[in-house]
Amino acid sequence: MTLQDAATERPEAYKAFMSHKRNQQVPGGGESLDQLSERCVSFLYDIVGKHKGERVILVSHGGTIRELYRHVSPTKPLHGKIHNTSVSVILVSDATGRCIVKMCGDVSHLQETGVLENAFGGDKTSA
């Protein structure tokens, strides 16, 4: 269902989703942004606990990355969207659990592919 369809077919859910209120659940079973954040952060620390001293690669969508960034850097707002195939790196200390964002939403690996010139209207930032 597209956002436009949701606005017509499920107006209550659409309004809740578009409100961007952290505690607003979406009617029909959708979680709030606070619930999403709690789930993402809990998962991150579960992975860290199971793979101490190891390098782990997680593949996810922008919503998860945005919530993890928000947890790690609560005073630094993340503007714009997390582009498809972008690379984000979060370093987590085994000893303290402290997290540092090393990179977020980087698309430099796409510069020579032509994808950025052609995707989503050729805005040179979207993949």
Phi and psi for 17 in degrees, rounded to 5? -65, -45
- Rounded to two decimals, what is the model's pTM? 0.78
In a domain, 86, yes or no: yes
In a domain, 48, yes or no: yes
Q: Residue 123 has what pLDDT?
A: 57
- The domain total for the chain is 1
In a domain, 23, yes or no: no
Q: Residue 103 belongs to what domain range? A: 34-121
In a domain, 38, yes or no: yes
pLDDT, averaged per 10 consecutive residues of the chain (127 residues), comes to 91 92 92 96 94 92 92 89 88 91 90 72 54
Nearest CA to 105 out of 72, 78, 73 is that of 78
**For position 106, which CATH number holds?**
3.40.50.1240
Residue 3: CB partners within 8 Å, gap ≥ 6?
14
